[in-house]
Structure 1
Amino acid sequence: MQLDGRSNNILEELINNPSINSKDVEKKYNITRRQLGYSFNKINDWLTDKNLPEIERTKQGHFIIDPKIFSKLTEQDVSPVDMNILSEKQRVYMIVMMLLSNEELSLIHFTSELEVSKNTILSDMKRAQDYVSDYEIAIRYSRRFGYLLEGKEFHIRKLLTQVTSKILDMNNGESWIRRLADIEEAEISELSNRIDKVENKLNLKFTDEKITSMPYTLSLVLRRIKQGKKISSFYIKYEELSDTKEYLATEEILYDIEDIPVEERMFITLHLLTINVYWSEFLTEETIPNLLQALDDMLRLFEKRACILLQDKEQLLNKLLLHVKPAYYRIKYQLTEVNDNEDMVSKEFKELHHLVKQSTTPLSDLIGTRIPESETTYLTMLIGGWLTRQGDSIQEKVKAIVVCPKGVSVSRLMLSELRDLFPEFVFLDSLSVREFQTYSLDYEIVFSPIFLETEKKLFIANSFLEREEKYRLRKQVMMELHGYIPFDINVEDLIEIVKKHAVIEDEQKLSKELFGYINPDTGTSVRDQQLDRPTASLSELITPNKVTLKKSVDSWEEAIRTSAKPLVESGHIEPDYVEAMIMHCEKDPYIVIGPNIAIPHAAPDEGVNDVSMSLLILEEGVNFTEDYTINLVIVIAAVDKQKHLKALMQLMKLAGSEEDRTALTNASTVEEAYTIIKKYSNE
């Protein structure tokens, strides 16, 4: 790591004048006590990175410096930073900052400012073009105006915010920005004072990084406004932000600055709303209803997937709320930072990150869009730190994957069944064979209905497991992993015993409570199961008006279209979904789940409006491939990974009964077919 300019100066001061105290440092460098604390932490982080002891600070404000620090930094002439050498990436940030804050720039401006050759600048300009393209911005050159940025002003503001932070993280970053953008120190000081008042007004404290960057960001934004580079149209309605405390704070910052349009005031309000805080007096949902509930649901899903019970969850929720409230606005209004490769999650946390990512559905549903990678990474860091604190680790748990060639729905069904069978394992994914061949996460066990080439432990298991098969598979896995067969209490067996001696009023509820009692440490509670619990039964999805009887069709494509017709007409799926199913069938013949029966389906985002199923019964079968003739075509339209699984499990049981499968094939009326379907809907 590197030190910023202020921290570097303070470290040199401490080495040259170790008797100096905190107040003298604050006075000499014109910084606040808080800014000194921030730099002091940076210095100790840098020393730790160099395997040197940390500097201690007494309550009286004196510094205790280990002699090793003096010898290391003087005898070996190790300077904390080299102020003159810029990396390629840093030069790119400098070029972009000059383009953001100046007009009519030529190559000479860049070469003289950065003190490099013309060819170096031309090479850096290409890298700068690649960098700004991630923000949907281009760098253009004309003889009349020189180099300039071209793109929507909202995207340019997003770039401005990120580049300002990047340069401030560099050595002597504040000096660089003031020099490149020609900003007076007095202007930054005035804006800093106003922001201090804002903190008091909002009853919160911004992070030190943001406190440093906010005055520079506001200064550059105000300059662009004065240059006439304004946000012309804003998709945020005034009513959404005008009643927030942040909007009142914006008015306070801009109280004497004239000609600031409402759109610009809204943008600055949004900037305040998206800034990370490390403390807040009030953690409320006044502006984001249901946020706390979404975070709670997210943690419960994580506990279920990671087989871990989070301790002191209320404190963790408060930490998450501090981060996620500003993240909510960043995500909703596309202000999330574009990730650099170095910002990606570390290798040791890859599996944890994967599980956190799978658990963010409640949060993404609340915001109305997917959670960006950079925000998920931060959630991983928070939750990972919490697990380390309580002494838990995903790395210590048995991690498994499911590889199934029989299509998405069947593989997810298999994953659901195995997750229930092995609650002590972490199941990372259900994969196709092709996905398995390039899978990068770490795992120990593979479950699959087919043989696979793998160095990991492979257990062959049917796509749909009957009760006895489950028992045998669990014994086999536990014996091979641990060398013994654990004494497992089977909830289904308990229910059967209770039935012999008592009347059960609610079997499902009893089953869940018994499971929670027998497995208290798996991180799975009754409520956890309900979060993802499939609700619709087979007869609730395949209703009589979704059943079609026909003598024959000319092709399997026509079979899919005929079966799907009731769902298109009712608005459950779009016509595009039908074509997507046909396309997937051409690539993947594994939609056949049993003799004479097929379940064509596609992805939820390919035209599904609501979870649904439909059935086509053909008197004369249709050829799906050279190997299969199909009489029963069940179209499945899923909106997520869970809501259709109960019905699918019931369908798999029906498919496994030769007697009922034949009876359904030979049904002469819709009512007769529906009677057979209802038979499996209470399973």
Structure 2
Amino acid sequence: MLTMRENLIVSKLIEARKTIRIKDLSKELEVSTRTIKYDLENIRKWLEQFSIEIYAQPNKGLWLECSENEKLQLYRAMIENKNESFYVDQHARLERILYMFFVKEGYITASQLADQIQVSRNTIINDLKAFEEFIQPWMLHLERKQRKGYRIVGKEIHLRLLTEHIIRENVSDYDMYHIFTTIQTGKIDELSLNLDDTILAACKNVMKQSREILLEAKGESISHVEILSIFIRLTIMLVRMDCGCTIGSYRLFQSDDKSSSFLEKLMARVCTEYQVPMLEDEFHYVHRNFLLDQKLDLVKITNQIIHYVSKKEDVPYVQDVKLYGNLLAHLSLRFEKSTTYLTEINPFKEEIKNSHFSLFSHIRDACLKYIGPYTSIVHDSFISFITLHFLVSYENVFKKKPCVTALYVCSTGRGVARLIKNRVEREIKQIEIAAYCSMLEVEERMKEQDIDLIISVFPLKANVPVIIVDSVPSEENIRAIREAVYEIIQETADTSTAFLQQSNQAFEEEKNNEEISQEIILKGFEIAHEIMDTFGSQLHPDRKEGFMIHLFLMVHRFYFNKQYDHFMIRSKEKHQTEQLLEQLDTVLKKYHVSVNKTELISLSQYFK
């Protein structure tokens, strides 16, 4: 059988899109490389039953070669791997302790915890000390009372958000596949997740009711991400209400046109099944973003965060207009009304924290200062997503671009060489032709300067890559030079930010730049003029100039097919801003500008 840590290693090998180094596993799991090697020996023996082998290569890493069906088979085997060694990892025991406190209101003794998890009382005492630190960032603390035991003290919403975060963090890609496959087939009883039995029973009940309603619903479009969030929150609600713990008042829910018909039907059936009342505050907990209890000026907050981080990092992020637009769009969606998925998981979270800890810390401080204490509850995933925006800005705007130094070799070293230099450097931004010389001067030039690449009209040998070109480089020659430059840059790239490197794209000079610019300016002016005439009274007085800039940049993004990522697909719900979004969309389409929902939501932030 596999331990918890070995399960994690197998999961990483299955999900990895590239090789994994033992050193990286050691650092992430906080154990020695020797321990990882022992774990790998046990994993190899376990994999023999599936006829799957771990491949390894020095200076490259570890990887698995198996089909998608074999991966699913491994996932199923790991889920069924339920033995007492599953909890030898302390982090797994802390999650188990949280579930035990979550499903029971009142005190639990150390002996009861030790018996349930099957470890010694001394181990549990040490775990409880770690557990206090584990729950502290979520504004919870552990209370101890003599002869009674321990209990978690804090607001109900904080306990629910922590539990939701832990459940979401442990739902793997296979679990997602298994959940939705189970709903489609109706084989709910076969669902197996690493959850407390009480929580799993409630989850199965919610899924059973969901299947019936989804089969009935024909016109309503609901994303898988949203369905998963509803599953988790409804499950959490049922378990806590069964313990006698509600999130607010006992006022019964009153239906209105702004609520989700799918959620309303599902929650009504689930509450009837469990014989609990359908309360208004509980519906709002499941349905919408709890942070909306605060009134947030996202335009102002976006500016404040960028200025704060710029000052702390001593990088002029305030000069990057695109960073402002992207960050505003992200926050607009995160704090959009009816957003249920608040505690999403960022797969780059640990890599970002380790590689860019200073930036991560300053962004967290800025969020705490300008958004409020609830950002500590949203935890590291929320901060790491914002950090990604700053990292992209730094990579694309402020970081010194990698540059390949080239030597151009022609017949005499004179003549059209300067014209060739200008053309190559114009079309390939990452190259600098530092010198040009004749074939007889190559060795001397190589000694005088550090040369990465030679561009030559003659065949020659050197200890750096050589690209042979025509006397006047053709398009094919330019492509060959570009590919060589890209390979050199990739070899010397900083591995800590490799996930941000964008794929190489051919540089194509636009033929009609003047005409394109005129069209964008005129179209932007026409749209801005009509929106100001129609909705001018709704625009915030201090935001009109920002609105104009944002609108022109939006038209520019539309023209070059560079709209904000439409990374949240929502159901067709009605809320107070829906009418404004529809009106803005109508004006834009009148001028043949069609933008996605993300762009519209971002634009709406300039209105009262």
TM-score between the two structures when normalised by the length of structure 2: 0.40
TM-score between the two structures when normalised by the length of structure 1: 0.36
Q: Determine which structure has the larger helix proportion and give its number.
A: 2
Q: Which has the larger radius of gyration?
A: 1
Asked which structure has the greater RCO (Cα within 8 Å, sep 6+), the reply is 2
